[in-house]
């Protein structure tokens, strides 16, 4: 890829074809930072031919495009649409931040999931697509759900042979980091918000498999608007969720790690040393008026379940 082009080459590095776009594909100047997700190469629709899936993330050209091996466009999915709350209407301006090609069941057909966030506001669309780019269903959330890297995390949490989709980000109505878990049947409807100013209207209520909010630390409450989930990953016997408490490169590692079991029950929470060191530095600068104490700085109630994960029967 270049800043405006997709280049496809053979195994010897010889260019086969390229697609040139009118605008730069990525941007760091917008409220929503866009980076080009890694293309996917494979037989997505089972026709025996190779396809290339490529995401154009930046509005107004945001789309997931499927090319044939020869560079012919087979289909494209344009993400997002206009939505509204009781207070605001949000125009169709979205950034396609991530997509994933996977099988919900090991012997099933490929499914495609595309995650798009409004630019510059908070509505977020999780779209389930067929292998030929048709929209099957969609889930809407009041707050950006930003996968770690450029692929949503997919795990079989309860060992039933069907995978769940794990998405971390922000719940704007709660001003807090969140984790949302969806399966193939729950990528539909809209998240239900306690703060009705943030309730997206015109869609049925969602039925997420799980929905968790992460409490804000003292540093986050003082210096930021909300904390945010920055990583979702699996370890042997654990699901690891990282929650960023302060933004910016100078605050790298100012975070809390949450360890869950396969039923998303909290096992432990670790405050990283960078958090403690940053807290001490701010105290010495007079910007924080208390010394670090885990109970008062992070609190005993680390999270709140809006919906607990229930293993399939």
Break the chain into its structural domains and give their ranges.
Answer: 79-307
Under DSSP, the state recorded for 197 is G
Alpha helices by DSSP H, 2-77? none
Contact indicator for 68, 49 with CB cutoff of 8 Å: yes
The predicted pLDDT at position 161 comes to: 86
Pairwise CA distance, residues 160 & 30, whole Å:
41
pLDDT tens-digit readout, 71-85:
999 999 999 999 999
The predicted pLDDT at position 197 comes to: 97
The verdict on pTM exceeding 0.75 is yes
Q: Which of 254, 256, 226, 217 is nearest to 240 (CA)?
A: 256
The predicted pLDDT at position 141 comes to: 98
The predicted pLDDT at position 58 comes to: 82
Pairwise CA distance, residues 51 & 56, whole Å:
16
Helix (H) or strand (E) holding 99: strand 94-102
Distances (CA, A) of 145 to 6, 20, 152, 273: 26, 29, 9, 26
pLDDT tens-digit readout, 126-175:
999 999 999 999 999 999 997 665 567 888 888 888 889 999 999 999 99
Q: How confident is the model at residue 268 (pLDDT cuts 50, 70, 90)?
A: very high
pLDDT at residue 60 above 90? no
Across the range 260-286, mean pLDDT stands at: 94
Q: How confident is the model at residue 176 (pLDDT cuts 50, 70, 90)?
A: very high
């Amino acid at each position: 890829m270049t800043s405006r082009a997709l280049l496809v080459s053979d195994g010897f590095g010889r260019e086969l074809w390229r697609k040139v776009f009118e605008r730069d594909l990525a941007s760091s100047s917008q409220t929503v930072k866009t980076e080009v997700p890694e293309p996917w190469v494979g037989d997505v629709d089972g026709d025996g031919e190779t396809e290339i899936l490529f995401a154009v993330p930046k509005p107004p050209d945001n789309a997931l495009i499927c090319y044939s091996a020869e560079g012919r466009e087979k289909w494209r999915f344009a993400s997002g649409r206009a939505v509204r709350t009781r207070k605001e209407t949000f125009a169709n301006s979205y950034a396609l931040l991530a997509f994933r090609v996977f099988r919900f069941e090991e012997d099933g057909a490929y499914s495609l999931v595309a995650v798009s966030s409004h630019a510059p506001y908070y509505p977020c669309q999780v779209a389930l697509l067929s292998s030929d780019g048709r929209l099957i269903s969609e889930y809407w959330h009041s707050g950006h759900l930003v996968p770690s890297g450029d692929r949503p995390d997919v795990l079989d949490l309860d060992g039933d042979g069907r995978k769940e989709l794990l998405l971390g980000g922000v719940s704007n109505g709660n001003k807090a980091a969140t984790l949302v878990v969806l399966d193939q049947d729950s990528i539909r409807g809209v998240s239900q918000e306690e703060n009705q100013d943030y309730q997206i209207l015109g869609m049925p209520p969602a039925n997420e498999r799980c929905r968790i909010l992460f409490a804000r630390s003292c540093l986050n409450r003082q210096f930021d608007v909300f904390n945010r989930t920055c990583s979702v990953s699996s370890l042997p016997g654990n699901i690891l969720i990282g929650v960023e408490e302060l933004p910016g490169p100078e605050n790298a590692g100012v975070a809390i790690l949450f360890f869950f079991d396969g039923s998303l029950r909290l096992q432990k929470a670790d405050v990283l040393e960078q958090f403690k060191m940053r807290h001490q530095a701010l105290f010495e600068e007079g910007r924080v008026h208390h010394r670090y104490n885990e109970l008062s700085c992070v609190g005993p109630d680390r999270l709140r379940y809006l919906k607990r994960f229930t293993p399939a029967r």
